A and B are shown apart, each in its own frame.
Chain A
């Protein structure tokens, strides 16, 4: 008894010592890197980095294990929010999975707070009897995990040289999504053979709705409740969303509360006045679901300062139609093209890493990438899109080849293109 007490005392005091030392170490670290200092220490341009007074980590124990991990204080990748969306920092990421808190956002009336214990999904309309599924119900069905990108159909910006990949096309991200196939859910009901569409409705303040061809439900549509290993994030649709792989992001209704089986589209606001695009001869293209093949070089990109010598050109490529089969890189403004190395496994409707080794000898030049997908489609230039859709073409479903201009001093700038 006495011994135990003594040894307990010993244990306690050592833990306290550890925690005390650790917190002292943490405090010391943060004091030198917090506030003004951290900005000076880790600026946008690494060439301006100022060495910090970081204590020798081999001389003092650090913080003990915790309940939630944090990024290093030297790393702060952030999204760029506007009033209606927030862009993923593509140039700061590695591999193809977007960290969940950096997944892009686009919603039409903010992020709703939903109690999962009260959540219900209603399926009704042209069915024999309408059904309600709780979140627990959804999780009981056989689960499926898939890696898919989501992309907003408005994911193209241009106009200035000082634009990062985030600025140009940061409205795309990728996660591993887990949920139940919509076809599995639909088989719980008798759907009328006359049904050919379904309306999906969300429970945000926009009560967003889209009409979806029923065929997609039998292909690869999912009701997703998990993202990268944990519950789907509120910004991406907690506690459950619709996921339509390869289709424009707004059709993947977040915070889904209702599905109505029907025989015609409802012509909702999103599919008429919003996510449609003017094309040739004054026409307005509607129900343009599929996101076409696309790629972008994420390194070197603005605002990187390039050094002469070997550089690995890196980027991501994706197609809403299926797999990327090839990505070609040009280092002479499009005169010649070289096939890049694709990171295996190349997945269906998923961001794919491409990489190509190059020696930069200091010449002024332009580097570009273009993607090819399994349907034989090659990512077009902006000129080809204008030729196909007319000068007055709308701003959705623009997936042009983009170029980075490399100056003799190593500055990398976007090459903006305008069409109206």
Chain B
């Protein structure tokens, strides 16, 4: 099926137009022409993901000091005064221990994920309400609380992707190999 479609697609390219494929006795085009082009503005509004290499990070910056008051006001109620107490997800933990709570310090492999996740989903009751400056500040504050950066480090679009997370070295892609093996 895929081969037929590939050949069909190539023929289309050569023909420079729509072509029909026979598919179980039914004519079927490669393209239907449904949908419409997205505007640059539409893409800009939705294109919020941050890549591990930093692509997508906005202008702005923060330090652990600038993040502290934001954390206390907007985060501590759920994550605890020092990021350990809960009642919800602990954020600060024991370095190197992957069997205990999955915290930023012992379990998150990429620092950019912290920025991406806080900006899209936090605080829980008002997701997407934080400014880039606030998110940089919180990211810096949490990285410092997990002893990954010091309190003077400026976190911005250039420095954040360079932060090496202690948990990065533990991560392996799925190594199950199929077949009868239990892995």
Interface residues of A (CB under 8 A from B): 108-109, 122, 124, 129-134, 137, 140-142, 187-188, 199, 201, 205-207, 209, 218, 257-258, 260, 262, 264, 266-269, 272-274, 276, 278-279, 282-290, 292, 321, 375-378, 380, 384-385, 387-389, 392
Measured between alpha carbons, how far is A290 from B178 in the docked complex, in Å?
10
Q: Which of B35, B42, B176 has the most CB of A within 10 A?
A: B35
Measured between alpha carbons, how far is A216 from B92 in the docked complex, in Å?
36
Measured between alpha carbons, how far is A380 from B182 in the docked complex, in Å?
7
Q: Interface SS of chain B: helix, strand, loop or mixed?
A: loop
Nearest first, the 4 A-B pairs at minimum CB distance are A130-B38, A269-B117, A133-B35, A207-B120
Measured between alpha carbons, how far is A249 from B67 in the docked complex, in Å?
35
Could you say which residues of chain B place their CB within 8 Å of the CB of A288? 174, 176
With known contacts A122-B43, A132-B42, A287–B121 Cβ distance under 8 A = no
Chain A min CB distance to B4 (Å): 13
CB–CB A282/B98 < 8 A = yes
With known contacts A130-B38, A206-B121, A385–B182 Cβ distance under 8 A = yes
20 A-B residue pairs with Cβ-Cβ distance under 8 Å, sorted by A, are: A108-B121, A124-B43, A187-B31, A205-B127, A207-B48, A257-B46, A264-B52, A267-B112, A268-B49, A269-B117, A272-B110, A272-B171, A278-B98, A282-B98, A284-B171, A286-B172, A286-B174, A289-B174, A385-B182, A389-B183
* Residue B80 interfacial (CB < 8 Å): no
CB–CB A133/B34 < 8 A = yes
Measured between alpha carbons, how far is A132 from B36 in the docked complex, in Å?
5
Nearest B residue (CB) for A377: B180
CB–CB A376/B128 < 8 A = no
Nearest B residue (CB) for A199: B49
Measured between alpha carbons, how far is A243 from B76 in the docked complex, in Å?
36
Interface-facing stretch out of B57-65, B101-109, B135-143, B151-159: B101-109
CB–CB A272/B35 < 8 A = no
With known contacts A122-B46, A284-B172, A131–B178 Cβ distance under 8 A = no
CB–CB A273/B113 < 8 A = yes
CB–CB B46/A272 < 8 A = no
Measured between alpha carbons, how far is A124 from B28 in the docked complex, in Å?
25
Nearest A residue (CB) for B89: A273
CB–CB B32/A377 < 8 A = no
Measured between alpha carbons, how far is A380 from B171 in the docked complex, in Å?
24
Partner of B98, one of A284, A321, A375, A387: A284
Could you say which residues of chain B place their CB within 8 Å of the CB of A377? 178-182
Could you say which residues of chain B place their CB within 8 Å of the CB of A218? 2
CB–CB B109/A267 < 8 A = yes
* Residue B173 interfacial (CB < 8 Å): yes
